[in-house]
Each structure stands twice: as C-alpha cells, then as structure tokens.
Structure 1
Amino acid sequence: MFTGIIEALAKVENIIKEDTNVHFTFSCPFTNELKIDQSVAHNGCCLTVVSIEGSNYTLTAIDETLKRTNLGDLSIGDVVNVERCMQMGGRLDGHIVQGHVDTTASCIEIINHEGSTEFVFEYNFDDVTVPKGSITVNGVSLTVVQSEKNRFSVHIIPFTLEHTNFGKLKVGDKVNLEFDIIGKYVKRMLSQQGVIS
C-alpha cells in the first residue's frame, strides 16, 4: 500500500533482459535503507527488491508488468518516481494507492499557467475519472481537474514539477495510471447490478 507521495527520484543504472523478464538496477538516495524483499513503487508500479549492492538495488519486472506499464520503455540514465510502502500509523498525505498500474496514458498537451503546469493525458481503457477525484500518474497522487471520456488533466505545482519526473515529461511520453480504488469498486458493483455496462 502506498500514498502517492513521492520520496525521491531513482536513476536507471543497468537493464538486463532474461527470457521475458527484465532486471532493472537503480540508484536512489535511500538505497542504504532498503532490504531485500521490500516493496518499492517505481513510477507507481509496485516491485520487489531482489538484490542490493552498494548504492544500487535491483528488481525484476515480468512480462505482464512490462506490457501494462511504461517500465519497458526505460533506458539507462532515465529517472523514475519512487516511494516505499506506507507505514502503519503514518499520515495518508495522498490517497490509497495499491501500486497496481491499470494502464498507460499518453501526454497530449502541456500548458503553462504561470504558477502551475497543466498536463493533459489520453488513455484507451475502460475506466473513468471524475473532476476533483484522485488519480495516480507515474506514482504521483494527483487531483483530476478536467475529466472527459478517456481523457483528463491535472495541475502540477512547481514543487512537484521539481521533485518528480513530471519536470522531464514531454508531449507524446507514456505514463502509468492507477485509477482510484474506491471508484473501481463502485463501478464494479454498479456493473454487476446492471446499472452501467
């Protein structure tokens, strides 16, 4: 379980393909605090630490993860947003994030509002956003501003732009999405009752 509050940026140090798996090696400011078998969200995708060597740690992404996320697009030198799982008794500053990426979206527009930056995303997936609802984009807990079918926008404050990989995002880039878990359960219940299809 995560909150969508990014702790740091992690840099891709190495990528090794093995059959359909990919082993990613990262470095980040809290590598020395990690333990093997610990869960860490990378661009919102929960992965397990399998080895630690000095300032680097390695995790393995299976084929399903690579198909559903943007991790397969990473190259050495790229940076991802990282967050360790939340601690019981801690504050939930973002929203309930599972670290289970639903799909990816494309950034189709970036608008500077002189104080905030608006990012518009488009996706092809059977789920919905609502204005003022929660959405996780590359692991960042955000509030939906504009919401349309298969499209939504968020506004990013300068602090978030500086401390996440939103500062490097360009039109055409692919991001990971995790829709709000409460909304997903409500949609499933309404669908089972035949209220929506």
Structure 2
Amino acid sequence: MFTGLVETTGRVRSLERLGAQARLSLEIPFAGELEMGESVAVNGCCLTVAAMDEQGASFDLLAQTLAVTSLGDLEKDSIVNLERALQVGDRFGGHFVQGHVDATGSVVALEAQGQDHIFDVALPPEIERLCIDKGSLCVDGISLTIAELSEGKARFWITPHTFQATHLPALKAGARVNLEADLLAKHVAKLMEGFSAARGA
C-alpha cells in the first residue's frame, strides 16, 4: 500500500528485454536502505526488488506489467517517481494507492501558470467513469486532485513542490502515464454492476 506522495526520483540505468518480460535497473537514492523482496512504486507501479547494489536496484517486469503500464516506454536516463511502501504508524497524506495500474493515459499539456503548473491528462473511458471533480487520481505514482473533469480529460493544478519533487519537469506532451483510479470508486462501481445485473438493468 502506498500514498501517492512521491518520496524521490530515480534514474533508469537499463531496461533489458527478456522475451515477453524485462528487467528494469534503476539508480535509486535510498538504495542502501532497501531489502530483497521489498515493494517500491515506480511511476505508480508496485514492483519487487529482485537485485540490489550500492547505487540502485533491479526489478523484474512481467508481460502483464508491460502490457498494462507505460514502463516499457522507459529509456536509459529516464526519470521515474519512487515511493516505498507505507509503514504502520506513518502519516497518511495522499490517498489509498495500491500500485496496481488500471490503464494508461497520455499527457495533453503541462504548462506554467504563475508559480504553478496546469497538467492535462487524456483519460480512457474505463478510468474516466471512475473519476469525479475534486476526487483523487494517481498519475505515475503521484496522488493528484482532479480540479476539472471534462469529456475524456482531467485537469490538475500542480504546486511548485510537487513539480520539483517528481519527474514532471521531464514529462512531455504525448507521453504515456500510468493511471490508478481511486480504490473506493472501483469497489463501488463493481458492487453497482452486480446490483444492476441482479435487477436485470
């Protein structure tokens, strides 16, 4: 379980394709504190530490992970958002994030507006239906509040701290981003589907 409050950023050392799978190697600032098997959210995707060294760690990417997320788009020196799993007793400042990416969206625009930034993301229908104005959406591992919701698109206002503490300065229009819808919204939608089916709606 994560919060969507990005802890720091890392840098891609390599992405090695292994048939339908891949191994992702990252330079990580907190590498010396990691343990084998530990969970780390990388651009919002929960990955397991498979190998470590003093400067970083490596993660195995399943075919399903490559199919559902944007991790396969990463290149050497790409910047990624990192968050370690929530510890019992930690302050909970974001929202409930599992690190289970539901789909990918694409960056429409990321533009400075005074000291802040406007961030527009195109949403696939399966994500849009789970979003509400002022609701939460996890974008590449960042817990964001939807400022405006329009057809097929969500707008976020990015504070200076969030912009500087994440990979956003390196993000370009057209880039794919990982999306995880609000956990409660997903459960309610599933329950309502069953309710509607039971009533023959």
| In structure 2, distance between residues paired with 1:9 and 1:92 | 20
Instruction: Tell me the equivalent position of 1:147.
Output: 149
Instruction: Tell me the equivalent position of 1:42.
Output: 42
Instruction: Tell me the equivalent position of 1:194.
Output: 196
Instruction: Tell me the equivalent position of 2:118.
Output: 118
Instruction: Tell me the equivalent position of 1:99.
Output: 99
In the TM superposition, residue 171 of structure 1 has moved relative to its aligned partner by 1.0
Which amino acid is 2:156 matched to? V
| In structure 2, distance between residues paired with 1:22 and 1:148 | 36
Contact 2:31 2:53 in 1 (8 A): no
Percentage of matched positions with identical amino acids = 34
Aligned pairs (5 A) from 1:1-197: 1-127=1-127, 128-194=130-196
Which amino acid is 1:17 matched to? R
Deviates more, 1:169-178 or 1:117-126: 117-126
| In structure 1, distance between residues paired with 2:26 and 2:142 | 19
Which amino acid is 1:116 matched to? D
In the TM superposition, residue 109 of structure 1 has moved relative to its aligned partner by 2.1
Contact 1:108 1:120 in 2 (8 A): yes
Question: In 2 relative to 1, CA 125–62 (structure 1 residues): closer, same or farther, beyond 3 Å?
Answer: farther
**Structure 1 gap ranges (5+):** none
| In structure 2, distance between residues paired with 1:112 and 1:79 | 20
| In structure 1, distance between residues paired with 2:16 and 2:101 | 22
Which amino acid is 1:177 matched to? L
| In structure 1, distance between residues paired with 2:31 and 2:181 | 28
In the TM superposition, residue 112 of structure 1 has moved relative to its aligned partner by 2.5
Moved over 6 A (4+): none
Instruction: Give the 3-state SS of the residue equivalent to 1:136 in structure 2.
Output: strand
User: TM-score w.r.t. structure 1 length?
Assistant: 0.95
Contact 1:138 1:176 in 2 (8 A): yes
Number of aligned pairs? 196
In the TM superposition, what whole-angstrom CA distance separates every residue of 1:171-192 from its partner, at most 9, and x where no partner exists?
Answer: 1111100000001111111121
**Structure 2 gap ranges (5+):** none
